[in-house]
Amino acid sequence: MGIHIDIQSAPEKVSQWYIDKRIFGKFFETNGRDTYPGIIDDCVANGSFEHWFSKRKKDGTNLPWTMRTEIMYRDVEPTTGLAYPWEPVGDVTDAYEQLQGGVHGKQGWKTFQRIKLEGGTTSKGIAQRITLADERTLTYRLQLYGRAIGSRTHLQVGIEDKTGDIRIDTRILLTQDWDRYEVELTLDRMTSSRYDASPFGEYRLFIIADTAEASFVDLDWVMLMSGDAVEGLYNPTTIDLLKRYHVTSIRWGGNYANEYNWKDGIGPWLHRPVRDNQNWGGLEPNYFGTNEFLRFCQLIGAEPLMNIGFSYDLPPELAAEWVEYVNGDASTPMGRLRAEHGYPQPWGVKLWQVGNESYGDYQFGYTNSIDFAKRIQTYYTQMKKLDPSITIIIAGEDPMYVDFSEIPGQPPIWNKRLFALAGKDYVDGLDIHQYTRGIRDEGLRKDWLVSNEADPSFYNQVLVSYPSQYEVLIQELKELASGYGIEPLALEIGEWNLEPETDANWPKAEYETMAHACYVAGMFNTFIRQGDSVKYAYQRDNTLYYRAYPVDMRPVNPGNDTSRFYAEPFLRTDTKWRKLELQTEGTTFDIPQTWVRIRPMAGVAHVDAAAILSEGNDEMILFVVNRDMKEAHKVELQGAWARDKSETSVLLQYGDSPFMRHTDWYEQRGYHLVETQLTYDDGDSASLLLPAGSVARISFRLVHK
């Protein structure tokens, strides 16, 4: 069992085009805790004491922790008159009111928090359970606005850990006017109370009022920033992780883009409105606006992609103004506004997208393909008028999302209509998304096992190997575009990942496993081989946005290491890389029909391979992935490099089991990343044994005689 690969650097094997390093991008969306504190290092939720926005589930429930919100502790019980998710301190009887007004909040309806005090020895207040990256820093900056209706009213503000053993606090004397207070709080040590055995400690931020006489205390706009935040704003660990794992581009967008008005996120924070996050639930304070995002990308060294919403509420004129705000010089109306906001130099952003999954009825502004193809032309024209140098990518649809098709049960014709009605004059590129999930229905999954005489491990193998079928879809999409004069078609894989649907007791190729890393490798191999078309790709993976979170949290996982060692060759600044064609022969298996999105496919290779060659022909790199979830496979390599005794190096990534989960934040467990060597045979061949569910990068320093 195995594969034979003939790898030669002959001119006829080398592509005429270069592979774009922006395939190693990450997708980012405004939901959950990825933004706060994952990027902007603010550790509290609803610091402006607004009325909480709950997104209604389809089952009719309307609980405040539904969907992907920023709430850390989901067991908070709502208290009458107290802004969620804050909790009461002291007697709660008629103690709290949310009143209109204050200094910061929702546009036209901002609220502040009032606490009623009887006076004397009784104190009352509020608290919020939080997690802090206390292994990294013990210092935090607390900001709040407050006032007291009554004399000699104090606030005691501070942080204590879950056990109460660690506590730091200070006192503030309030006046009768809204004043801003800022204090520095430094813990004397990190807590032993860890959130889910992670680097995040469990704490409580408290704000407690006391006075000698009856009084009201009003609070607004509380923030708790890490003392080591980069430029006072950014999560330093997130920046470090994105740089360490060689993320080359960041796409801001997703569902939230279709409801986002960019003008909410510019200018002083004090004047930016808090908005309900209509897509995901919760509140968006708009701290992470246009300039903050672009500066964040600058700090990482990643190219930004800006996703503009497609909606009647977000018209083409607004999109064009955004382009001018970002790229216009200070003599233009919007460029002048940007300069007033402290950024005199244009950002020069080249990558723009309009619409996000606009075919889906779950999207704001969703519509049909004919309407989209017609209206997108106005967006394109007005944006290009402001900056002709930008690339405008428009929202397409995965070719096998048959559950969102104009023809029930058939592949969607969305892309075909865009090519036909908008055409090459309005399509600089097409954005498609790929979430590989498998079979959602438990009963249908069991039926699939029976009808295919398969086990759950093979079911996962089908999902892990799906990139081979995805490559065929990309080829078909390129051919379709070519028929309308769009050649080559520039593709943005704007969101992609494996999110397997399995039974609870099945093995599962989830983020923490080598099985998932094999899927990542397969996707990168596809992007490399289809590099004449795939120019940008953005994996949905929240791991590198450093924060605690109750529903989507993990340490750096095997797939992150896989992505890193695919991206590492592209760090070379003295060369570009071309695709190298391979001749392969090896064992295969057949993919059966799997729900509605995965069609039957015969002859799928257990071991998938892709190769790249440096522009100066001095280095050749082969990537191989064994997608067999049970068996090891021998990779036999042949080429002149072996006869010439070229210097080689091998990086092998494998697990104790393809499905073993790596969950340790402090030690690498369950998978290994090791340097090894090829085994040379006589003549011009060598070999490497790939364990089940493993990935390897083989580098050849070529000798030219």
Q: Give DSSP secondary structure letters for 140-170.
A: EEEEEEEEEESSS-EEEEEEEETTSSSEEEE
Bond into 37 cis (ω within 30) = yes
Q: What is the pLDDT of residues 126-176, one digit of tens each?
A: 999 999 999 999 999 999 999 999 888 999 999 999 999 999 999 999 999
| pLDDT value for 287 | 98
pTM of the model: 0.97
* Cα 351 → chain centroid: 17
- Cβ-Cβ contacts under 8 Å for 311 (sequence gap 6 or more): 258, 259, 364, 365
Domain residue spans of the chain: 2-40+234-701, 87-226
Residue with the bigger pLDDT between 603 and 213: it is: 603
| pLDDT value for 681 | 83
| pLDDT value for 540 | 96
Work out the average pLDDT over 387-410: 95
Most confident of 201-205, 277-281, 665-669: 201-205
- Cβ-Cβ contacts under 8 Å for 617 (sequence gap 6 or more): 9, 702, 704
Distance CA 54, CA 45 (A): 14
| pLDDT value for 68 | 76
Asked whether the beta carbons of 172 and 146 are under 8 A apart, the reply is yes
Asked whether the beta carbons of 506 and 459 are under 8 A apart, the reply is yes
- For residue 65, pLDDT over 60 is answered with no
- Cβ-Cβ contacts under 8 Å for 550 (sequence gap 6 or more): 72, 73, 74
Q: What is the pLDDT of residues 261-274, one digit of tens each?
A: 999 999 999 999 99
| pLDDT value for 77 | 92
Amino acid identity, position 434:
Q
Asked whether the beta carbons of 586 and 609 are under 8 A apart, the reply is no
Asked whether the beta carbons of 86 and 51 are under 8 A apart, the reply is no
| pLDDT value for 646 | 81
Work out the average pLDDT over 214-222: 95
Asked whether the beta carbons of 551 and 542 are under 8 A apart, the reply is no
Distance CA 548, CA 556 (A): 13
* Cα 685 → chain centroid: 41
Work out the average pLDDT over 331-346: 98
| pLDDT value for 409 | 87
H helix or E strand, kind and range, residue 538? strand 534-540
Q: What is the pLDDT of residues 543-571, one digit of tens each?
A: 999 999 998 899 999 999 999 999 999 99
Q: Tally the C-alpha atoms within 13 A of residue 677's C-alpha that lie toward its C-beta.
A: 6
| pLDDT value for 57 | 62
Residue 221: which of 167, 265, 285 has the closest Cα? 285
Work out the average pLDDT over 591-600: 97
Work out the average pLDDT over 442-462: 98
Strand order, beta sheet including 139-149: 96-100, 111-117, 215-226, 139-149, 179-186
| pLDDT value for 703 | 74
H helix or E strand, kind and range, residue 214? none
Residue with the bigger pLDDT between 596 and 54: it is: 596
User: DSSP letters along 584-603, please?
Assistant: EEE-EEEEPPBTTTB--EEE
Vertex 230 angle, CA 225 and 235, to 5° = 60
Residue 419 corresponds to which tokens in the numbers above? Answer: 């090519």
Amino acid identity, position 364:
F
Calculate the alpha carbon distances from 609 to 6, 433, 535, 689 in Å: 11, 23, 19, 14
- For residue 85, pLDDT over 60 is answered with yes
Amino acid identity, position 552:
D
Asked whether the beta carbons of 606 and 587 are under 8 A apart, the reply is yes
| pLDDT value for 682 | 75
Q: Mapping DSSP to helix (H, G, I), strand (E, B) and coil, where does residue 146 land?
A: strand
Q: What is the DSSP letter of 51?
A: P
First to last CA, the chain: 35
| pLDDT value for 529 | 99
Rg (CA), the chain: 27
| pLDDT value for 67 | 61
| pLDDT value for 13 | 94
Superfamily of domain 87-226 in CATH is Galactose-binding domain-like (2.60.120.260)
CATH annotation of 2-40+234-701: 3.20.20.80
Distance CA 386, CA 375 (A): 18
Asked whether the beta carbons of 506 and 551 are under 8 A apart, the reply is no
Q: What is the pLDDT of residues 480-512, one digit of tens each?
A: 999 999 999 999 999 999 999 999 999 999 999
Intrachain domains 2-40+234-701 and 87-226 with the same fold:
no
- Cβ-Cβ contacts under 8 Å for 378 (sequence gap 6 or more): 316
* Cα 426 → chain centroid: 28
pLDDT above 90 coverage of the chain, percent: 89
Residue 432: which of 448, 411, 446 has the closest Cα? 411
Residue 404 corresponds to which tokens in the numbers above? Answer: 């969102």
| pLDDT value for 704 | 67
Distance CA 391, CA 664 (A): 42
Determine how β-strand 633-638 pairs with β-strand 685-690.
antiparallel
Mapped to the 3 state alphabet, what secondary structure does 246-263 carry? CCCEEEEECHHHHHCCHH
